[in-house]
Chains A and B, each alone.
Chain A
């Protein structure tokens, strides 16, 4: 399984763009990269998933370089309600049962 490394915490201000990078040097060919968001006292919520290049949805963008050894979650114009823990997971269909969450990145958005 690909081990992931993220910053433990980040601070930002309302209206700024936030980029959270996840390192996954031993990512396998069939692995996908998935990001989740978790608010206090709630379960994690799926944000975005990608395999290569760029994926965008109504919430965020995910940038994956050609070597796929890292990925960056981009949150445009954050608000106070984006304060949460963000998790990066790397897994392929062959290890569905081993979806391991790391410590995540605690994002604090300030007014």
Chain B
């Protein structure tokens, strides 16, 4: 399996508090992604990165910000957590050395976030 870790794996927080989730990769892949998964909605893209300091919004980016200061780390921040952001968050990477690999994603184990 691709070397992707997410931290924390579980978190409980209160409404209004800031929360940062970390995704760390050891594969030197160019692209990194943050998804959330909720019952009835499948996986939805929050933000993605196509290089260090290069990020863009996905389909559900409101209330989230990201940063990528190094190739291996992609941070997702909830500036002021709300109950609607209770979800499972998955990080993914793509873009290894093989041609066409940018279209093949590898996922982390996920972070379960509960906002009370």
Contact = CB atoms under 8 A, between A and B. Distances in A.
A46 B105 contact: yes
A42 B103 CA distance: 20
B48 A46 contact: no
B31 interface: yes
Interface string B39-53: 000111100101000
Contact of A99 (B33, B56, B100): B33
B109 interface: yes
B72 interface: no
Contacts, number: 63
Interface string B41-74: 0111100101000001011000000000000000
Contacts of B59: 100
A43 B108 contact: yes
Interface residues of B, number: 26
A97 B56 contact: yes
The majority secondary structure among interface residues of chain A is mixed
Contacts of B100: 32, 49, 93
B43 A44 contact: yes
Given A42-B109, A43-B90, A43-B92, A96 B45 contact: no
B42 A101 contact: yes
B104 A97 contact: no
B104 A96 contact: no
Nearest to B95: A96
B21 to A, nearest CB: 14
Interface of A: 32, 34, 36, 41-46, 49, 87, 91-93, 96-104
9 contacts: A42-B109, A42-B110, A49-B100, A93-B100, A93-B103, A96-B94, A97-B33, A97-B50, A98-B58
Given A87-B42, A87-B43, 4 more contacts: A34-B104, A42-B109, A98-B58, A99-B33
